[in-house]
Amino acid sequence: MGGEIELINDGDGIAVIGDSSVVEEFLISEGLKAKDLGLQRLLPSLGSAAGLLQAGSEIAANSSKWMKLTDESAKVAQKYPMVINSATGNAHATLRASNGQFVKNLQFVKGPGAFLTNPAFLAGAAGIMAQIAMQQAMDEITDYLSTIDEKVDDVLRAQKDAVFADMIGVGFAIEEAMTIREQVGRVSDVTWSKVQSTPVTIGRTQAYVLRQLDALAEKLESKSNIGDLAKASEEAKTKVQEWLAILARCFQLQDAIAVLELDRVLDASPEELDQHRLALRTARQNRLELIGGSTAQLLDRMNAAAEEANAKVLLHPISSRTVVESTNLVAITVIGFETGLGIASDRQQVEAKRWVNAAVETRDDMFKAGAEGVDAAVRFGNEAVDRAKFVGDKLGNRIAALRRRGDDEEA
């Protein structure tokens, strides 16, 4: 490949492949950090045909790095023209450092490089990129779960429903399989046999939790009495974080199973790898949309409850405060969960209506004596709104601190 590097963009991440020194110079010049992609794992599946043998030798001789598709890496990808591959649906480009200049002066090379003409390599690289992206997502869910007070296993043990009985064991089995894969470099028949039935348990648990979230939303919708609404919102406040923690764990384990599946297909039917990768991606997106629909419905019901509480703040200051408090805390919890799973959310919390505005609207001075108590409830609502507004930054800072601590420990 000489001074060339090759870029692959699959929508979740970017792979940079080429001579190790050139790849590193490219990453440094663009201010990017990346992790090893590990394309060497493709060597056993490429076979011994002449073209595949050449691709295999180039894989062995070159470096491959992967980075998550973020705002920074996306800007870099946009700087270089890429061609969509009809087989994989991914974008590809070959870049060349001319006249021995630094990689920051790379120019687009018309015509794909050796890697990009090899269907087996493209399918394999796309599969490994998908695995790395899912493992990155699993790490982010782990970070999210680290920010909540209760451990998921403790939450599961506290549940009396039989549907949760096998979830802890399923988690142990999948984590063991991932550890063996990391050590051995593949997923054997024996390892796969231990986990191949676990998606049933995970799916059943996920469905149960989604029903519980929907039930909380329906209960809020059915309450018209402000006292009953306050009780229902209090219940939601205490239960939502537990349900979402279990839901995040389900999603994390489903990603782990997908990583193991891709290894099995790469070993057993490499020609089906790309189709399987795309199918897993679609299934994952469907799960995200299903979960996002339930959390959106819950927040809609909570917001409606807060609006109703605002309308009755003069007559029921204490209950109204409870509803507003619960609504904002649930919103903070949901936003943290959606951030951990990568579900985009720009929801704004309902701000409690100031008592003085309510007094003006009703033109009733009878309730001015209660202004101090109601204003305290409103102030709480405003403070909760501020907390929710900045929850993304706080969560990000906490996750960054956890990662730095982990890096320090490894060092």
User: CB within 8 A of 131, min separation 6: which ones?
Assistant: 258, 259, 262, 263
Instruction: Choose among 372, 268, 307: nearest CA to 260.
Output: 268
Which is more confident, 25 or 392? 25
What's at 234, amino acid-wise? E
Q: Over 90: is that where the pLDDT of 261 sits?
A: yes
- For 156, which DSSP code? H
Residue 143 has what pLDDT?
87
Comparing 89-103, 199-213, 284-298, the range with the smallest average pLDDT is: 89-103
Phi, psi for 4 (deg, rounded to 5): -90, 150
As a whole number of angstroms, the distance between CA 197 and CA 251 comes to 16
Residue 106 has what pLDDT?
53
Phi, psi for 203 (deg, rounded to 5): -65, -40
Supply 273's token pair. Answer: 């790898």
Looking from the CA of 389 toward its CB, the CA atoms found within 13 Å total 8
> What 3-state DSSP class applies to 326?
helix
Over the stretch 150-175, which tens digit does the pLDDT of each residue have?
A: 677 777 777 767 777 788 889 999 99
380 by Cβ neighbours in 10 Å (0-12 / 13-18 / 19+) ranks as middle
Residue 192 has what pLDDT?
95
Entry pTM: 0.72
- For 82, which DSSP code? -
Supply 240's token pair. Answer: 């939502």
**Predicted confidence band of residue 350 (pLDDT cuts 50, 70, 90):** very low
